[in-house]
Structure 1
Amino acid sequence: MKFGLFFFANGQDAPEQYRLLLEAARFADAEGFSAVWTPERHFHDFGAPFPNPSVTSAAVAAVTSRVGVRAGSVVLPLHDPLRVAEEWAVVDQISGGRSALALASGWNPQDFVLAPGNFEKNKELVRDGVHALRALWAGGAATRRGPDGEERSVRTYPRPHQDGIPLWITAAGSARTFAVAGELGCGVLTHLLGQSWDQLENNLGDYGEALEEAGHGIEKERVAIMLHTFVTDDAGAALETARAPMTAYMRSSMNLFGLTAPRPAGAGEPSEAAMRELLDHAYEEYARTRCLIGSVDDCLPLVESLAELGIDEIACLIDFGLGTDEVLTALRHLAALKRRCAEL
């Protein structure tokens, strides 16, 4: 099992969030972690520090020498593939060929003020964009209409360091998205927020079948899963320390996704006390079964279960509201978990 670091901070304390990003990236580089992933988010506190993963990834590339530098994810329908190829070629050159991309279709209509005509065809644009991005990365030309109305053929610069760029497709739980990733010969970046263990197992089966049917071969299978992570030497203390920041993080994500607390038909909005009780209950279940929150020994069974499903990388989301120095200290225990897994 490989371990990377994943960032998706809530809030607007940019100096501290970027300090955590860069110091954690240096740690990941020194300790042999697989990658540092940063997302693309727009127009909301949730994910606020990360409007452009090529910018944050360039910063990570400049302070590291070994760790992979990845987008988690580029919302491809918001951009012309020409711009994606240009920006990530810069990251690839700065990093010496360590860049990689997860590509997402996007879901929030507010994000699509950047490309309003693309919302209804967002999934189709990801499929087309994979082909376009690969061709541009290899030095191929693309045709676009110029201001005079004439078609113009262009190539992107700078040329990247790598001959080809590793790609993942971000899949929240749709079986179709997993199958498309397999068809395209891409990896999958997923999570356990919106899918059960049974759904995840079925989706991974669909992914593997699609890879083989498309002729890519099982050796192309790459699956990364994002897990909220806080590993310490005391499981009980870890669970209690993470409780308040995680429940606040969960509340903010509900606001972003337009979710409300479940309640009986005709009932009014839940009280603040009821909401706290609901989130606390959700935290107990989620933290104990779908997160790396606890001691090394307590986290190991979850890693083993994921490995049995065919997952080969955990993208550890570490910036969900704990203090910067607290998170950085805890990374030593995450590195110990990584070493334990390497010994098995």
Structure 2
Amino acid sequence: MQHVGLVMECDYREGRTQDEAFAEAFEMARLADETGIDGVWLAERHFAAPRTPTDPGGAGIPSVSSVPLLMAGIIAARTERVRVGTGVSVLPLAHPIRLAEEAATVDNISQGRLDFGIGRSSFPRSYHGYDVPYDESRERFAEALDIILKAWNNYRFDHHGHYYNMDDVVVTPRPYQQPHPPIRIAANSIDTFGIVGQLGFPLVTGVRGQGLKQVANNLELYRAAVKESGHDVDDVYVRMPIYVAESMEQVRADTEESTMRAFRRTADTYIRTVEAEGENASAERRQRAEQLLNTTYDDLLVDRVAYGSPEEVAERLTEIRGQLGLTGVIMEPNLGGTVPVERVQNSVRLYAEEVAPALRG
């Protein structure tokens, strides 16, 4: 069964208020529930306040989604059918016991509709704000995941690790789904694909920063690691900018400025991260920054987004699904955050009602 999802970054645009941002987020979740979207995925965005081009990280769009599990619980209580996921919970930035408790709570509130997406984030800015060294992120992620699984798979457990020590712990409530909510790990850097494959978990990756060709190469690493590690899993979701309108002319009018703004911002974030890391900066980040700086809107239509009429988007996503061997597609509905909300809602309706049936067929 093909998963047709929708990511919610809960941005709020210039001239809008936080109240309006929350209201729009909850309305988008209601629309997803009403139109048959399989799942909404809540991003985790920290310190995402309005910024100027001279601020660290460059100009950005603010977000109210710093506590995705809290948002997920509210959405679960207000909806009937749609699954609610974290896209993703950044494990190294929170205590794993607290995350296990909160996720299990949402799983119960939703009566088993939680998907627990997890990751460690590609950029160090959030870590700086929490005073957590970014170079510890991989080890902290692994230990946090180990603790969460112990909490869910055992009634009582002990743990003695590098970052956490605890004895005789009983976590309540227990998850509604047994043994626990589905776990899906995000991978965007090349080395992470192999690690997720070794662990044997379902994977989610994004197209925006790497392009479809690189995603295909990276998924080969994931599947090779799964096979070498003796796991039986081939479950991959791709998150990508998707926009559906009545014609390609309307799509371009709605999205070109917003989309280019988003990719320029992503390139700027890579550049500033590389500058901050100096000689320790990864070659992968440098390469991605260079690629995005030289990318045009028409280039993006080929390799990084799925934009068009319902027929065009359905055909493109069906082709991508076949090429990459996907089990799910997650829509980024308003890349750049400046498309008017009414147009975004129209796009989501067309995606749910005219594109999704083709993907599930």
Shorter-normalised TM-score: what interval? 0.7 to 0.9
Asked if residue 325 in structure 1 is aligned to residue 342 in structure 2, the reply is yes
Deviations 1:70-129 (A, max 9, x none): 111111111121011011111111110111222112343331245534422211222232
Distance 2:210 2:138 in 1: 19
Q: Describe the shift of the 1:140–1:333 C-alpha distance in structure 2 as closer, same or farther (beyond 3 A).
A: same
Percent of pairs with identical residues: 26
Q: How many residue pairs align between the two structures?
A: 319
Could you tell me how far 1:324 is from its partner in structure 2?
A: 1.7
Q: Describe the shift of the 1:36–1:82 C-alpha distance in structure 2 as closer, same or farther (beyond 3 A).
A: same
Distance 1:203 1:301 in 2: 23
Asked if residue 159 in structure 1 is aligned to residue 174 in structure 2, the reply is yes
Asked if residue 16 in structure 1 is aligned to residue 34 in structure 2, the reply is no
Distance 1:196 1:254 in 2: 13
Q: Which runs of 5+ in 2 are unaligned?
A: 50-60, 274-291
| Match of residue 297 from structure 2 | 283
| Match of residue 229 from structure 1 | 242
Distance 1:208 1:41 in 2: 29
Q: Mean alpha-carbon deviation: is it higher for 98-107 or for 81-90? A: 98-107
Q: Secondary structure at the match of 1:96?
A: coil
Deviations 1:253-304 (A, max 9, x none): 34444459xxxxxxxxxxxxxxxxx979532321344222210122133212
Within 5 A, what are the aligned runs for 1:158-177? Answer: 158-163=173-178, 164-174=180-190, 176-177=191-192
| Match of residue 109 from structure 1 | 124
Q: Which one-letter code corresponds to 1:328 in the other structure?
A: Q
| Match of residue 342 from structure 1 | 360
Q: Describe the shift of the 1:137–1:22 C-alpha distance in structure 2 as closer, same or farther (beyond 3 A).
A: same
Deviations 1:217-261 (A, max 9, x none): 1xx22111111122011111112211122223334434444459x
Q: Which one-letter code corresponds to 2:266 in the other structure?
A: S
Q: Secondary structure at the match of 1:316?
A: strand
Q: Which runs of 5+ in 1 are unaligned?
A: 261-277
| Match of residue 299 from structure 1 | 313
Distance 2:313 2:254 in 1: 16
| Match of residue 123 from structure 1 | 138
Q: Which one-letter code corresponds to 2:259 in the other structure?
A: M
- Give the TM-score normalised by structure 1: 0.84
Q: Secondary structure at the match of 1:29?
A: helix
Asked if residue 40 in structure 1 is aligned to residue 44 in structure 2, the reply is yes
| Match of residue 247 from structure 1 | 260
Q: Describe the shift of the 1:78–1:334 C-alpha distance in structure 2 as closer, same or farther (beyond 3 A).
A: same
CA contact (8 A) 2:212 2:304 kept: no
Within 5 A, what are the aligned runs for 1:56-75? Answer: 56-75=71-90
Distance 2:224 2:38 in 1: 26
> Please, what is the CA RMSD of the aligned residues?
2.5
Asked if residue 78 in structure 1 is aligned to residue 93 in structure 2, the reply is yes
